[in-house]
Amino acid sequence: MNLTELNGIATAMVAPGKGILAADESSGTIKKRFDAIGVESTEENRRDYREMLFRSRDAMSQYISGVILYDETIWQDAKDGTPLVKLIEQSGAIPGIKVDEGTQALPMCPGETVTVGLDKLAERLKKYYERGARFAKWRAVIDIGSDIPSMTAISVNAHALARYAALCQAAQIVPIVEPEVLMDGDHDIDRCYEVTQRVLNKTFQELRVQRVALEGMVLKPNMAISGKKCAKQASVEEVAEKTIRLLKACVPAAVPGIAFLSGGQSDEEATAHLNAMHRLGPLPWGLTFSYGRALQAAPQKAWSGKAENVAAGQRAFSHRARMNGLASKGEWQSSLEKKAA
């Protein structure tokens, strides 16, 4: 393992003013997104849509540091025969790959899941590296309910995340470690804080046990935030303050960077929260975004599967990328959204 190289890639992934585009929706998820805009989810349509994003010159070269791809996408070629991976590299961004294979019910733990995909991961990583992937992603899902999460669910998911991360580093690939505490549910921000703290502490304990080099990874956590169904939604300031307090308590300074998931927040909420965190003074790690829906909802709608809308889709994508790029330096203002509209 060449740690200097891994650290260089991880640092580039969280460079100031840039963030990671999560374009790794599974076939089921992208079908839901396409259904919403009345587009059939065929392999060709999925390719055309993602090609539109990767050819968005402004967004990709100025505000996007890396792109997380789905297995189908990493092997696809653009309409003109250029591998999609090459389009990403040509823009100056780093190609990455989602390697987990989704979740399964966790035995003896009703309502809880464990992420699978460790079998044969070493061989898959080798092939992905040859194709150009320089980082990978694995998502663990922790739900909050009346009696959950159990320590069992937190432990097995943290163990799998660390196993995955160690395999990535052995393959010279930077692991994005994503323990997501879901914002579904009616819990308040303090309950989210408490669960996320347990999850992060257990995850870093496992990473150390399995000898993962913290300098060669990126953390992709949720923010400390109220559940969607909670009657009292925390303010932007409270989300920022509690999230930063939580991360400072749990995330070692050796980690080069943290890239948040949006987790169901609206486009502007995700941007405003990130921006407010950067206003709280210097941080020990790079802090940016790794958004999927919060970067893509607008371009999907603008494109709607029509070739004549590609330019409009790219404009919408560039706008969201720029807004989040500014937020990752604490320079975003809501008035910039109104101007664009």
Residue 12 vs residues 19, 218, 221, 270: alpha-carbon distances, Å: 9, 11, 18, 22
Identify whether the C-beta of residue 133 lies closer than 8 Å to the C-beta of residue 102: no
Which of the following is catalytic: 18, 202, 220, 242?
A: 220
Among residues 261, 195, 268, 270, which one has the least CA distance to residue 240? 270
Burial call 137-154: b when 16+ CB within 10 Å, e when fewer: bbbbbbbbeeebbbeebb
The yes-or-no answer on residue 137 being catalytic is no
**Among positive and negative, which fits the CA dihedral 281, 285, 286, 292?**
negative
> Using CA atoms, how far apart are residues 194 and 7, in angstroms rounded to an integer?
30
Burial call 207-221: b when 16+ CB within 10 Å, e when fewer: beebebbbebbbbbb
> Using CA atoms, how far apart are residues 39 and 129, in angstroms rounded to an integer?
32
Q: What residues form DSSP beta bridges with 138?
A: 177
The yes-or-no answer on residue 268 being catalytic is no
Identify whether the C-beta of residue 304 lies closer than 8 Å to the C-beta of residue 34: no
Query: What number of CA atoms fall less than 13 Å from residue 35's CA on the CB side?
Result: 6
The widest CA-to-CA distance across the chain, in whole angstroms, is 53
Taking the alpha carbons at both ends of the chain, their separation in whole angstroms is 48
Which of the following is catalytic: 51, 178, 180, 206?
A: 178
**Would you please indicate which residues are annotated as catalytic (active-site) residues?**
178, 220
